[in-house]
C-alpha cells in the first residue's frame, strides 16, 4: 500500500461542475502539498497547507490532520483546469499517483 | 515560468550513448532535486542536493550520475541506459528553511531510450 493514496485516479466532468479530489496518507506530516501537472509535464505548486482550509480563486484545499485526509475542490470547473492533480507529503518527497482530470466543454 | 529551466526538453538516445540533462534555477535556492516520472506511476525522487552536497540517493542505478557544481546548476549524466529508463525527468529547487520547504519545478526533459 502506498503511503499517499489519491482518488479518483481519473475524473471526467462537464464544464461548470464542482470537482473534488481526495488524498489520504499514512505517515506523520507537518504539511501537505497540492500540485498541478499540465500535459506538457511542467508542475506548478497550488497549495501547501498544514491545517484547515486555503482558497485561491476557484481552488479550495482542505486538510484534516487527525483523519490524515485532504481534499482539493474546484468550483465552476473549466476545460483549462484539465490536468493531473497530485498531492505530496514529507516536504514533497512522498507523492501520490495523481488524479487525471478532464473537463469537457 | 517558475524560475527553473531544463534542457533539453526532449531527448532520444540509444543504449550506448552518453548524454547529460541540465537544470538551472534562478531563484536563489540552496537545494535541488532530480525526479523520474514514468507513465502512470508516482513521481520518484532520485537525488537531492542541499548546499551542493548530495544528501539523498534513492537507490538509483549507477548509469545515472548527478553533478551539482554550484547551487544554481544541476546535471544528470546518462550512460548505457535501458529502454525502461524512458520517462519524464523533472528538476526542482527549494530553499531549505526547515521542515516546510516548497519545491519549484522545471518543465522536464522527455527522455526516450531506443
Q: Does B97 score more than 60 pLDDT?
A: no
Element (H, E) at B114: none
Decide if B3 contacts B92 (C-beta within 8 A): no
Chain A residues near any Cβ of chain B (below 8 Å):
2, 4, 30-31, 33, 35, 40-45, 48, 50, 86, 88, 91-93, 95-98
Instruction: Name residues whose C-beta falls within 8 Å of residue B62's C-beta, 6 or more positions apart in sequence.
Output: none
Judging contacts by C-beta atoms under 8 Å, the chain B residues touching residue A49 are none
Decide if B89 contacts B76 (C-beta within 8 A): yes
CA A70 to chain centre: 8
**Which residue carries 475524473 as its cell?**
A11
Considering only alpha carbons, which residue of chain A is nearest residue B89?
A41
**Least confident among A19-33, A58-72, B98-112:** B98-112
- Return the pLDDT at B54: 74
Q: Does A1 score more than 70 pLDDT?
A: no
Condensed to tens digits (0 to 9), the pLDDT of residues B37-77 reads 888 778 888 998 887 777 766 678 999 999 999 999 999 99
Cβ separation B104–A96 shorter than 8 A: no
Considering only CA atoms, which of B24, B19, B20 is closest in space to residue B6? B24
- Return the pLDDT at B42: 80
Q: Does A2 score more than 90 pLDDT?
A: no
- Return the pLDDT at B1: 66
- Return the pLDDT at A28: 83
Q: Average pLDDT over chain B, rounded to whole?
A: 88
- What phi-psi label fits residue A43: left (phi over 0), alpha (psi between -120 and 50 degrees) or beta? beta
Q: What are the beta bridge partners of residue A102?
A: A12
Amino acid at each position: 500500500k502506498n503511503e499517499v493514496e489519491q482518488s479518483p485516479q481519473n475524473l471526467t466532468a462537464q464544464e461548470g461542475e464542482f470537482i473534488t479530489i481526495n488524498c489520504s496518507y499514512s505517515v506523520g506530516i507537518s504539511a501537505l502539498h497540492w500540485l498541478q501537472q499540465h500535459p506538457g509535464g511542467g508542475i506548478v505548486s497550488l497549495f501547501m497547507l498544514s491545517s484547515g482550509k486555503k482558497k485561491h480563486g476557484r481552488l479550495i484545499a482542505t486538510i484534516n490532520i487527525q483523519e490524515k485526509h485532504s481534499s482539493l475542490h474546484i468550483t465552476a470547473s473549466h476545460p483549462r483546469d484539465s490536468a493531473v492533480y497530485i498531492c505530496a507529503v514529507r516536504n514533497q518527497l512522498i507523492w501520490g499517483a495523481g488524479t487525471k482530470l478532464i473537463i469537457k466543454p | 515560468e517558475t524560475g527553473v529551466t531544463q534542457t533539453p526538453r526532449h531527448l532520444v538516445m540509444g543504449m550506448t550513448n552518453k548524454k547529460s540533462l541540465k537544470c538551472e534555477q534562478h531563484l536563489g535556492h540552496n537545494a535541488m532535486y532530480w525526479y523520474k516520472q514514468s507513465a502512470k506511476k508516482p513521481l520518484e525522487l532520485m537525488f537531492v542536493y542541499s548546499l551542493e552536497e548530495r544528501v539523498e540517493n534513492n537507490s538509483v542505478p549507477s548509469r545515472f550520475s548527478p553533478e551539482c557544481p554550484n547551487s544554481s546548476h544541476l546535471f544528470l549524466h546518462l550512460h548505457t541506459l535501458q529502454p525502461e529508463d524512458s520517462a519524464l525527468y523533472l528538476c526542482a529547487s527549494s530553499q531549505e528553511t526547515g521542515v516546510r520547504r516548497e519545491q519549484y519545478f522545471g518543465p522536464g526533459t522527455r527522455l526516450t531510450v531506443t
